[in-house]
Amino acid sequence: MQRLLENKVVVVTGAGRGIGRGVAMLAAAHGARVVVNDLGGAEDGSGQDTGPAASVVDEIRAAGGEAVANGASVADWDSAHGIVASAIDNFGRIDCVINNAGNLRDAIFHKMTEEDFDAVVNVHLKGTFNVSRAAAPHFRAQTSGCFVNMTSTSGLIGNFGQANYAAAKLGIVGLSKSMALDMGRFRVRSNCIAPFAWSRLIGTIPTRTEEEQARVAKIQQMTPDKIAPLAIALCSDAAAEVTGQIFGVRNNEIFLFNQNRPIRYAHQGEGWTAEQVLDRALPAFAADFTPLERSGDVFRWDPM
């Protein structure tokens, strides 16, 4: 196996279990020195346990790799800077940040509490900003670096009962694009991955109906380790020209997502009245309206 990340230092957040663990393990196998960050909280983000991160570090070291554990919260500015400091203190540099830490607090929109919304946005969106912002000065100084940010089709397409999660994950897309634009002059790149994989977070999806049960059964086929190869590839020097993109991984499938661009145009030289918008513009656009769909409505075929 070609060691694509030889001598690079990689921070992986949420790396104690699931997708993050798979990414951390493969990064180490490709020669990276890894900071395994995981708060060790429950699915909703509550609590703390240093065990999961320490366990992954033990596995990496047992396989001959180098890694250190970090139990800080990405949602806190100072703690997030401490995660990056852990890379500098232990390995002398930082080359890649893989923002994977997450939590879920699903609720139908009209029943979602402020606490539920804030808790999810603070980990996913603010956490991605915090850790990335902490790494940015180092990337700028060394004129190199890579961000890989986990988004979701819940934000890109839609899903029931996940307004907090969808808002955070689509926010990450905008954040990632801004990071790519602002840091590009320093040869720093930033991309997103929308992962399809069974994890303990996905295990919180309700399975009350046959449709929900069938959906979860399909997701269970998609193991977290399937996400890692794309993440490692994006961190490698061979992908130095790839930035500002949104990818997806679904079992053995890799997708490139489109991004928002105008698709229809209407003009009226003297301007528009509200009545004219209703009479002319909206009917002209109607055939190209995006359907109100969930992720499962778009990805209708079984994972391959």
Q: Is pLDDT above 60 for 196? A: yes
85 half-sphere exposure, CB direction, 13 A CA radius: 10
Q: Is pLDDT above 80 for 200? A: no
Q: Is pLDDT above 80 for 59? A: yes
Identify the pLDDT of residue 97: 99
pTM metric for this prediction: 0.92
Cα 81 to Cα 78: distance, rounded to the nearest angstrom: 5
Mean pLDDT calculated for residue range 43-72: 92
In sequence order, the 6+-apart residues with CB closer than 8 A to the CB of 183 are 136, 139, 140, 145, 189, 190
- Tens of pLDDT along 8-41? 999 999 999 999 999 999 999 999 999 999 998 7
**Please, what are the domains in the chain?**
9-256 (3.40.50.720)
Mean pLDDT calculated for residue range 125-130: 98
Identify the pLDDT of residue 212: 67
Cα 7 to Cα 191: distance, rounded to the nearest angstrom: 22
Contact 90, 143 (CB under 8 A): no
Identify the pLDDT of residue 181: 98
Examine the residue annotation and report whether 165 is marked as an active-site residue of this protein.
yes
Q: Is pLDDT above 80 for 46? A: no
**Residue type at 225?**
D
Q: Please identify which of the residues 165, 196, 198, 247 carries the catalytic annotation.
A: 165
Cα 300 to Cα 304: distance, rounded to the nearest angstrom: 12
Q: What percent of the chain has pLDDT over 70?
A: 94
Cα 169 to Cα 163: distance, rounded to the nearest angstrom: 10
- Tens of pLDDT along 255-272? 999 999 999 999 999 999
